[in-house]
Amino acid sequence: MSIREVIESEERQRLAPWAACAADSMGRKHPEEEDPIRTCYMRDRDRITHSSAFRSLKHKTQVYISTVSDHYRTRLTHTLEVSQISRTIGRALDLNLDLIEAIALGHDVGHTPFSHSGEEVFNRLLPGGFDHQQHSLRVLTHIEQGKYGEGLNLTGETLDGILKHRGLAAAGRKDLTVEGQIVRFSDKIAYVQHDIDDSLRAGVLCEEDMPGDLVAVLGDTHSRRIATLVQDIIFYNKPRLEAGIREISMTPALMESFQKMRQFMFKTVYEGPYCMAEKEKAIYILEFLFQYFCRKPDKLPAFYQNIAKDEGTKRAVVDYLSGMTDQYCLTLFQALTIPLPKLF
C-alpha cells in the first residue's frame, strides 16, 4: 500500500461523513497516474502554489493601490488569511483540509491588477463581460503552464469551489463540497475584517467611525471580530451538518450584523472618496493599455498572439493585462507614454 493510499484510508476513518474524501474525487478532466505520496487534493494545492498566477498575487492590490507601507494587505496576503480562517473552521468541522487549502489558495488567481477597478474595466471592454471567478478557472484550466489549452488539470471539486466563492446566499447554488462553502464564507470574513484594519491604518477610518451597534455584536478588535464569526460558523453548522443539512450559513442575527458591516465598508471605504480617486487613475491606465494592445496585437507575447488568433484580440489582451501586477502595469504604462531623454 502506497503512502497516498494510507492517507486516503485515514481520511475515511477521520473525516466527517459530510467531508470530501480524496479517494472519492470526481477526478480530473484528463486522467493521470496517481501520485505515490500525495492525494489528488494535495497535488491540486501544490500545483496552485507553484503557479505563476499565484506568485503574481504578491503585487496585486487588495484595496489600497500603490501603498508605500509593506503592512497593507495584498491579494496574496488576503489569500493566505482566507486559507488560515477556512482551515480553522474546516478542522473543527472534520473537513478535508487539503481540499480547503487548494480552493483557498486558488480562489483569487483570476483577479486583475488594481483590485476590483481592473475587473470593472475589463467587464465593460470585453465582449461577454469579465468575472474574476470565471477568469480564475480560465487561468487554471487554460492559461497556466504557458502551454495554450493545457492548464493545471485540477480536480472538479477544487475548480467548483473556486468558481463559486463569490457571495454568501446559498439560494440556487449547488456546491459540490462543504469545503468549498467554508472557503466562500472565510473569504468574506477575511476581507471585511482586514480591510477595516487597513483602513484604520491608512486613516481612511477612525475608531469613532465604526458603527457602535455592530461593534458591540461583532467585536471591538480585528481578532475578536474574526473569532466571533469563525465560532458562529462552527457552532451553528456542526449540529446542522450532523442533521444532514449541507448548506453552510451563519446564525441569522450575526449574518444581519455582518452584512451591515459589509455595507458600511462599501459606503465608507470601497466607494469612498479616497478609493474612488485612486480608482480613476487605475481605470485610465488600464483603458490606455487595453486600447494600445488592441491596436497593436503584434506587441503581445507569442502565447497571447495565439489566443488572439483563436478567440479574438480583445480576449487575448484581457488575458494578458489581467495577469499583470499593479507595478508591472505602471511600469509598462510609463514606458509607453513617457518619452526617453536623448543622451549625448
In a domain, 8, yes or no: yes
Question: How is residue 339 annotated by DSSP?
Answer: P
- Does 65 have pLDDT greater than 60? no
**Best mean pLDDT range from 55-64, 212-221, 276-285:** 212-221
In a domain, 320, yes or no: no
Query: Which residue is listed with cell 496576503?
Result: 77
For the stretch 82-135, pLDDT in tens is 999 999 999 999 999 999 999 999 999 999 999 888 999 999 999 999 999 999
61 forms beta bridges with: 74
From the number of C-beta atoms within 10 Å of its C-beta (0-12, 13-18, 19+), residue 238 rates as middle
In a domain, 316, yes or no: no
Structural domain range at position 41: 3-275
Query: Could you tell me the maximum CA-CA distance found in the chain, to the nearest angstrom?
Result: 80
- In this prediction, residue 149 has a pLDDT band, given cuts at 50, 70 and 90, of low
- The CATH number for 234's domain is 1.10.3210.10
Instruction: Give CA–CA dist 183/110, Å, rounded.
Output: 16
For the stretch 154-203, pLDDT in tens is 999 999 999 997 766 655 678 999 999 999 999 999 999 999 998 998 88
For the stretch 217-239, pLDDT in tens is 999 999 999 999 999 999 999 99
Q: Which residues contact 169 (CB under 8 A, 6 or more apart)?
A: none
In a domain, 335, yes or no: no
Instruction: Give CA–CA dist 56/324, Å, rounded.
Output: 7
**Of the candidates 146, 135, 175, which has an alpha carbon nearest to the alpha carbon of residue 158?**
175
- pLDDT at position 146 is 47
In a domain, 339, yes or no: no
- pLDDT at position 331 is 94
Instruction: Give CA–CA dist 112/120, Å, rounded.
Output: 10
> pTM of the predicted model, to two decimals?
0.94
- In this prediction, residue 148 has a pLDDT band, given cuts at 50, 70 and 90, of very low
Which bin fits 319, alpha (ψ -120 to 50), beta or left (φ > 0)? alpha
CA count, 13 A, side-chain hemisphere, 242: 8
For the stretch 244-303, pLDDT in tens is 999 999 999 999 999 999 999 999 988 888 778 888 899 999 999 999 999 999 999 999
- pLDDT at position 69 is 57
- Does 216 have pLDDT greater than 70? yes
Query: Which residue is listed with cell 451597534?
Result: 213
In a domain, 324, yes or no: no
Count how many domains the chain has: 1
Q: Which residues of 49-62 are buried (b: 16+ CB within 10 A; e: fewer)?
A: eebebbebbebbbb
**Of the candidates 196, 193, 191, 220, which has an alpha carbon nearest to the alpha carbon of residue 272?**
196
In a domain, 308, yes or no: no
- pLDDT at position 272 is 83
Give the mean pLDDT of 25-35.
94
CA angle, residues 272, 273, 275, in degrees to nearest 5: 70
Residues 153, 29 contacting (CB under 8 angstroms):
yes
In a domain, 296, yes or no: no
